[in-house]
Amino acid sequence: MPSSISLMLLPLFTVLLSSASLSAAALYHSIDDEFYQCVNLHTDLSIPSSGAFHTPDNASFASVLESTAMNLRCLAPSRPKPELIFTPLTESHVQAAVICAKELNILLRVRSGGHDYEGVSYTSATKSPFMMIDLAKLRSINISMEENSAWVQVGATIGEVYYRISQKSRTRGFPAGLCTSLGIGGHITGGAYGPMMRKYGLGADNVVDARIVDATGRILDRASMGEDLFWAIRGGGGGSFGILLAWKLKLVPVPATVTVFTVPRTLEQGATKLLYRWQQVADTLDEDLFIRVLISAANSTGQKGKKTIQTAYQALFLGRADRLLKVMKKGFPELGLTQKDCLEMSWIESVLYIAGYPGTIKPEFLLQGKPLSDKTYFKAKSDFAKEPIPEYAMEGIWKMFLQEDSPFSIWNAYGGMMGKISESATPFPHRKGRKFMIQWLTSWQSGDKKTTNKHIGWIRKLYDSVAPYVSKFPREAYVNYRDLDLGVDKFNGKTSYLKASVWGSQYFKDNFKRLVQVKTKVDPDNFFSHEQSIPTLHSFSEGDEKKMIN
Ligand SMILES: Cc1cc2nc3c(=O)[nH]c(=O)nc-3n(C[C@H](O)[C@H](O)[C@H](O)COP(=O)(O)OP(=O)(O)OC[C@H]3O[C@@H](n4cnc5c(N)ncnc54)[C@H](O)[C@@H]3O)c2cc1C
Ligand SMILES: *[C@@H]1O[C@H](CO)[C@@H](O)[C@H](O)[C@H]1NC(C)=O
Ligand SMILES: *[C@@H]1O[C@H](CO)[C@@H](O)[C@H](O)[C@H]1NC(C)=O
Ligand SMILES: *[C@@H]1O[C@H](CO)[C@@H](O)[C@H](O)[C@H]1NC(C)=O
């Protein structure tokens, strides 16, 4: 049977036969061959000789798949792997990939930096065959000092972007994430917060243009995509509206010298009381100051064999140490910050410091686009606090932390610019009235089911137990900290609007409705989809549709 026919029948086969009884090799080859011929037909370059296709029987397959995949949990053998990885070398390859995948009815996954918490950019929770487009080779960065902006291709890491900006000027920066290996492609689609958010807002708030391949294979920029779609891609989450090719970022001013500090406090040193105070003041401090608190379990220095809770106050201040000391004395004297705690440096050096690099690492390291530490298996969740969490509740959290191997939480101060941007300006709705944003995280070192279940069980229990102290109705969550526990779109089937709006409103509040409307307009066939992509109106039952329109 010609391979084109076998490909067309693929969905049927998958239904009729269990995937195990299919000849895996035959399946790979049919997708591979058809797609490959189609892509060549649609581009003028000879792709085969470029090493841009990787099938599971290529020696390169595993290393390409694993290259940027951050969460080992999502690489487990039980997780479906792509039938084919395509690494486009030009924008027209991406267009051809969309046209061909659509024509051949192949499910796509799109990856820029691979940091998705649930791995939806490179794996699938369903058994459906799928292929992955890996944009890691599209990573050019062009900075214009005249325009005070940068065009950045999506495969570049945020660390490369920071470095290139710093090479042009010591007094320009960009306000996005702290972890330097994040892909700018996925990162901005969810918002992108970092240590300058109190001054300048999110990365997504500082995007002025974009280039995207839509579901028909056209390349659109801000003018041709229109303001609805341009709104949706700046916070509505990745993988729903098209394939971003590049972002145009507005650079922001930074002082030639900034100041950083990290001040640790354990329970024995009064950590709980101090953290209660921080919760009261963190969102009211000078906008030049960002303080986050890193919370972990540690060995007690006093008693051997005893564990304690470590809280570390880590800060970036957009100014010199003498002014920082004044700001701290006025707003948060309880931390007892001294000149000795303060380190003055350039903004790019502060990027490395906040990301946790040892002082011996030079900024050039960022060009490697690599993560700082070894990969782990992890599961995370997010929350937003509108009121300080009382001391007794924190004590309960510490008790749970002491039962877990590597518990971790980061509390990020809000306020400043975050409170000045309206909830509907972008799809990211977590703005005014939030005191801080929380990430809960646990990580482990082995992929067996028992270990995995134990740690996932722990974080789910923790999440339930803190519910009374964080935002409610809806309990807000950050889409870039994707959590499939919140709900999953039923694949290739009907999803009820009510069901999708459970997680939809947690991530986007009322903006979810507008996201669904934009999605329905630009991708009515739901070509760009994953477990938590924005659904179209058509994927709902008629009753739901009426409910939504009313
Ligand atoms: C260690 C670590 C640290 C982090 N630190 C921060 C932080 O400081 N601040 C913060 O805000 N977030 C942070 N995050 C979360 C991060 O912003 C998200 O995971 C983000 O989605 C990563 O983007 P990516 O391109 O690396 O991921 P990917 O896994 O490649 O993609 C993420 C999502 O976007 C989609 N996508 C990717 N590329 C494109 C594209 N070109 N067009 C359309 N859709 C696309 C994917 O399909 C997927 O749905 C962190 C994550 C990790 C793992
Ligand atoms: C993958 O395997 C195919 C067929 O064996 C070969 O033609 C192709 O060059 C290989 N690709 C890479 C990147 O090694
Ligand atoms: C940067 O400029 C080069 C040369 O003009 C161009 O080929 C590339 O596409 C540009 N990159 C972006 C992200 O605009
Ligand atoms: C704590 O102590 C134990 C045993 O003494 C050791 O194995 C572990 O690595 C220590 N943990 C930290 C975070 O230092």
Q: How far is the CA of 141 from the centre of ligand 3 (A)?
A: 7
In the block, which residue shows the tokens 């710093």?
Answer: 166
- Is the Cβ–Cβ distance between 215 and 229 less than 8 Å? no
Whether ligand 1 lies within 6 angstroms of the CB of 178 is answered as: yes
Strand order in the sheet with 219-220: 141-144, 149-153, 243-250, 207-213, 219-220
Count the alpha carbons within 13 Å of 465 in the hemisphere toward its beta carbon. Answer: 17
Which pLDDT value is given to residue 29? 52
Ligand having the closest approach to the CA of 406: 4
- Give the residue among 423, 515, 547, 403 at the shortest CA–CA distance from 476: 423
Assign 3-state DSSP to the chain and report helix, strand, coil percentages, each to 5: 40, 20, 40
Whether ligand 2 lies within 6 angstroms of the CB of 61 is answered as: no
Q: How far is the CA of 374 from the centre of ligand 4 (A)?
A: 18
| Contacts of 37 by beta carbon, 8 Å cutoff, 6+ apart | none
Which pLDDT value is given to residue 509? 98
Nearest CA to ligand 1 atom 7: 177
pTM of the full predicted structure? 0.93
Nearest CA to ligand 1 atom 1: 179
CATH T-level topology, domain 7-134: 3.30.43
Whether ligand 2 lies within 6 angstroms of the CB of 292 is answered as: no
Nearest CA to ligand 4 atom 8: 299
Nearest CA to ligand 3 atom 2: 142
CATH, range 141-253: 3.30.465.10
- Is the Cβ–Cβ distance between 235 and 190 less than 8 Å? yes
Phi, psi of 224 (to 5 degrees): -85, -20
Q: Best substitution site from 33, 57, 58 to test ligand 2's pocket, by max atoms within 8 Å of Cβ?
A: 58
Look at phi and psi of residue 278 and say left if phi exceeds 0, alpha if psi is from -120 to 50, else beta: alpha
**Ligand 2 atom with the shortest distance to the CA of 59:** 14
**Ligand 2 atom with the shortest distance to the CA of 52:** 13
Q: Give the integer Cα–Cα distance in Å for 26 and 5.
A: 12
Q: How far is the CA of 142 from the centre of ligand 3 (A)?
A: 6
In the block, which residue shows the tokens 């409170």?
Answer: 419
Beta-sheet pairing, 130-134 with 84-86: parallel
* Type of residue found at 207: V
The dihedral formed by the CA atoms of 126, 130, 136 and 138, expressed in degrees to the nearest 10: -130
CATH number of this structure's domain 258-345+374-478, picked from the four choices 3.30.470.20, 3.40.462.20, 3.40.50.970, 1.10.1060.10: 3.40.462.20
Q: How far is the CA of 497 from the centre of ligand 2 (A)?
A: 43
- Is the Cβ–Cβ distance between 232 and 241 less than 8 Å? yes
Judged by DSSP in three states, 259 sits in strand
Which pLDDT value is given to residue 348? 98
CATH 3.30.43.10 spans which residues of the chain? 7-134
Q: Give the integer Cα–Cα distance in Å for 27 and 48.
A: 19
Which pLDDT value is given to residue 127? 58
**Ligand 4 atom with the shortest distance to the CA of 299:** 1
Mean pLDDT of each 10-residue bin along the chain, 550 residues long: 35 37 46 86 73 91 97 94 94 96 94 98 83 97 98 98 98 98 98 98 98 98 98 98 98 98 97 98 98 96 89 98 98 98 98 96 95 93 98 98 98 98 98 98 96 98 98 98 91 65 96 97 94 83 45
pLDDT digits (tens, 9 = 90+) for 195-229: 999 999 999 999 999 999 999 999 999 999 999 99
Phi, psi of 171 (to 5 degrees): -115, 25
Look at phi and psi of residue 488 and say left if phi exceeds 0, alpha if psi is from -120 to 50, else beta: beta
The dihedral formed by the CA atoms of 51, 56, 58 and 61, expressed in degrees to the nearest 10: 60
Whether ligand 1 lies within 6 angstroms of the CB of 182 is answered as: yes
Take residue 394 and report the two structure tokens written for it: 């924190």
Ligand having the closest approach to the CA of 379: 1
- Is the Cβ–Cβ distance between 7 and 30 less than 8 Å? yes
What value does the CA radius of gyration of the chain take, rounded to a whole number of Å?
24
Nearest CA to ligand 2 atom 13: 51
CATH 3.40.462.20 spans which residues of the chain? 258-345+374-478
Whether ligand 1 lies within 6 angstroms of the CB of 112 is answered as: yes
Helices (H) and strands (E) in the chain, counts: 17, 18
Whether ligand 4 lies within 6 angstroms of the CB of 299 is answered as: yes
| Contacts of 63 by beta carbon, 8 Å cutoff, 6+ apart | none
Take residue 468 and report the two structure tokens written for it: 């009374």
CATH 3.30.465.10 spans which residues of the chain? 141-253
- Is the Cβ–Cβ distance between 192 and 203 less than 8 Å? yes
